Amino acid sequence: MLGGLCNPFPLFPLFPLFTLFTLFTLFTLFTLFTLFTLFLFFSFSLFPALRRVDFFLRKLR
């Protein structure tokens, strides 16, 4: 369906190595993207909210 780009048979001796390398690369990119997304989420949503809660609790004391 995708043509020769994803066809492993011309590279058949290298196919297991190529597959492992591709899976490792995709897993690494997915992990880095997930960590970066979590970092952005926590830095933009959680930390300012904690700062506001801390300010509110200090104002109550």
Overall pTM > 0.75: no
Burial zone of 31 (CB within 10 Å; 0-12 exposed, 13-18 middle, 19+ buried) = exposed
C-alpha R_g of the chain: 23
d(CA 35, CA 44): 14
5-50: per-residue pLDDT in tens?
Answer: 666 556 556 666 677 788 888 889 999 999 999 888 888 887 777 7
Would you state the pLDDT for residue 5?
A: 60
Would you state the pLDDT for residue 34?
A: 94
| pLDDT beyond 60 at 51 | yes
| Phi, psi for 56 (deg, rounded to 5) | -65, -40
Structure-token pair, residue 59: 């104002």
d(CA 18, CA 11): 9
